[in-house]
Structure formats: structure tokens, C-alpha cells
Homo-oligomer: A and B are copies of this chain.
């Protein structure tokens, strides 16, 4: 059992999760059209913050995205 996994994630941990998804989604062309990209990215950051994720949840989301990108041959 790892310590602290049921604690809420820190602001930094949430930011890094947002970075990970944003990078993959950017490469996938999710933020389209360009003039809406900034607003879409802000919405997504707000979504991650609002969810009150634990440290374990954050690791789960990183792991899901990493595995999807690995199996799809992407850069994940």
C-alpha cells in the first residue's frame, strides 16, 4: 500500500495531468477550430480541477492515456 493515494491530488499533480492530456489531444487535433482552442483548453483544465481527484485517480488517468497511446503506436 502506497502512502497518500487516497489524499486529494495537489494543484501541481492536477496541472501535470492536464498537461499530459492536452499534449495528446493537441497531437490528435482535438482543439479545433483554432480560434476555439484556448477556450477548450481552459474548459478542460477547469474540468480536471473540479473533479476533486485523489492521487490514485490521477495515476489511473495517466496510466489509461499512456496505455492507449502505447497500443495505438502514438507518442503518449
A interface, CB within 8 angstroms of B: 21, 24-25, 27-30, 43-44, 47, 51-53, 57, 60, 63-64, 67-74
Contact = CB atoms under 8 A, between A and B. Distances in A.
Number of copies: 2
Contact of A70 (B28, B53, B71, B73): B28
Contacts of A53: 51
Among the interface residues A43, A67, A68, A74, which one has the most CB atoms of the partner chain B within 10 A? Answer: A68
15 contacts: A21-B64, A25-B67, A28-B70, A28-B71, A29-B67, A30-B63, A30-B64, A30-B67, A43-B60, A47-B60, A51-B51, A68-B68, A68-B72, A68-B74, A72-B74
